[in-house]
Structure 1
């Protein structure tokens, strides 16, 4: 057997793939001002914390994954931190990242002084649950922070707002929209991205009707294969909600079922999705046991994309997934 890989370790270090509001809504954001930066501002985040400011925030800093979504709605951040440099993050392709001061490009390493120098009004990030129930543990740091001490230091620079990466992606996207609209994004701005997102979902719903079975994995030469559990990953869970067949790999661990290369042949699906932050499909096919899988023999091994939780990024990712599944056939 391979060692257990925690979701936080996978998402937070060089292995980050990310993956996708609380199972029960924690209340929406609100802004009383109509112009950028005007009026008082209040937002209740998914940890239950309410941030109140005299004016709507205009200088936004935070975790790459979160600011990418806000940027897709037109809010350009002043500073970022995360597991990678912005130039290496697909969520920022096509964006002029010279506008953003990177105060950390390794998970948990944040230059607090450099962050403070950017004078952010608010700092946005994600909160990951500790188990399948979606429970958040206040004794654990929010995503992106090395520990609670660091989180406290950052919180002294500006208030921190966290969106929970739990439940289906649709709920996370809705909460991100709540945050974006509280910051001044209009319904007019959201309308076309929402339309494209719903169109992509309908496309995936149609291809899911073919009955193809899918599993998403992160594989490593010396560790074996970590099979993601759809119920614990917001994006995968939303695909299942659209009708995609995603067999439960079993096991009692949260988020992953970890298996050796020798035992991967027990997990047979029509399609395998591989993490873009782990071994790619070609390298996996060089593993003799993996090559025996029906999906491998059929050449139905496609990328498992992580994208930010917003209409723009999710529409792109879902369209890419649907395009790959439209080429696939039942083989298991």
Structure 2
């Protein structure tokens, strides 16, 4: 299981330029980025993420290859890539959560194996731009030496390390608009509205359950990894809307604190959220772990799913936030 770590968070943008345009992205009342009128220049194209990583091209890119999680977000906003790499299909043959609604019958799947990619297959798609996530200097899912990849087309790395979910959601929407998605179309407007509505539901649920202790974990038969909200990402967003998550002993640079099962009660939980990624241990398999079975939240049936790698799409996040609000509304504080 791969757990990239995060470094201290970057400051959140309040007004952001939409790459490739002369427009600005303003924040709605709930903090959701809403693009204004597109004023795309006649020539040239550029994009800069919240960390300042910038790619500049002579012409607007027409053919984009992207990491599956990026492709999923772009697709939700109406922009279709020509190729993807990264998780696409689970071991059981189901669509991986990272690929979302991307139609893999119409899009070329270049590689699903971490760190491996056929340069020839990539080049055959004639991409103008390649997009992936970055964890510090690591270009996610690409070979460690990316020179051959960058020789095919410019590489845009959206920096994930140190960024909160809201910043990354804005980055991905900004990119979709810069590539040509309609900022005022239903795909974007509907996603933003749904996301804001889901946050309102979460805030209402946490106001009704202010004492409820929630712990997100990635449990395996051998160890218990407790998620660290201080590292940013989705848990930071949840905490900002009232979810009572523990302050772990992990450094802010680490996404998890690793515990032995003998330490499993270190952070009492009224509601446990188990990592639901396809590579994580299913709840059914944890039933054979004796300590897991004795945790109060498990005994009370107060265990939900934590979609730890949700694509940074307002559409996808609205679903996750709404599910968490429902789990919190249905849970009750427990005796520890």
The TM-score with structure 2 as length reference comes to: 0.83
Which of these residues, 161, 174, 194, is aligned with residue 156 of structure 2? Answer: 161
SS at match of 1:116: helix
The number of aligned residues is 305
Contact 1:168 1:234 in 2 (8 A): yes
Q: How does 1:11-22 map to 2 (within 5 A)?
A: 22=10
Residue 134 of structure 2 is matched in structure 1 by 127
Residue 276 of structure 2 is matched in structure 1 by 276
- Hey, which of these two has a bigger chunk of helix by percent? 1
Residue 334 of structure 2 is matched in structure 1 by 331
Residue 300 of structure 1 is matched in structure 2 by 302
Residue 69 of structure 1 is matched in structure 2 by 73
Which of these residues, 104, 107, 111, is aligned with residue 100 of structure 1? Answer: 107
Task: Encode CA deviations 1:132-161: one digit per residue, 9 max, x unaligned.
Answer: xxxx3xxx32222231x1x22111111111
Residue 220 of structure 1 is matched in structure 2 by 220
Contact 1:300 1:328 in 2 (8 A): yes
SS at match of 2:81: coil
Q: How does 1:1-332 map to 2 (within 5 A)?
A: 7-8=3-4, 22-23=10-11, 25=13, 28-32=17-21, 39-46=43-50, 48-85=52-89, 88-128=95-135, 136=136, 140-147=137-144, 149=145, 151-165=146-160, 166-189=162-185, 190-209=188-207, 210-211=209-210, 212-221=212-221, 223-252=222-251, 254-277=254-277, 278-305=280-307, 306-332=309-335
SS at match of 2:215: strand
CA distance in 2, matches of 1:29, 1:94: 25
Contact 1:84 1:106 in 2 (8 A): no
**How far apart are 1:295 and its partner, in Å?**
0.7
CA distance in 2, matches of 1:226, 1:321: 20
Task: Encode CA deviations 1:61-81: one digit per residue, 9 max, x unaligned.
Answer: 111111110011011111111
The TM-score with structure 1 as length reference comes to: 0.83
Distance 1:180 1:46, change over 3 A: same
Contact 1:82 1:104 in 2 (8 A): yes
CA distance in 2, matches of 1:303, 1:66: 22
Contact 1:82 1:105 in 2 (8 A): yes
**How far apart are 1:27 and its partner, in Å?**
6.1
Distance 1:72 1:154, change over 3 A: same
SS at match of 1:181: helix
Structure 2, unmatched stretches of 5+, are 23-37
Contact 2:87 2:96 in 1 (8 A): no
Task: Encode CA deviations 1:279-311: one digit per residue, 9 max, x unaligned.
Answer: 222332332212222211110111111311111
Contact 1:231 1:237 in 2 (8 A): yes
SS at match of 1:115: helix
Distance 1:263 1:50, change over 3 A: closer
**How far apart are 1:22 and its partner, in Å?**
4.1
Task: Encode CA deviations 1:232-277: one digit per residue, 9 max, x unaligned.
Answer: 1411110001111001221347111111112212221111111123
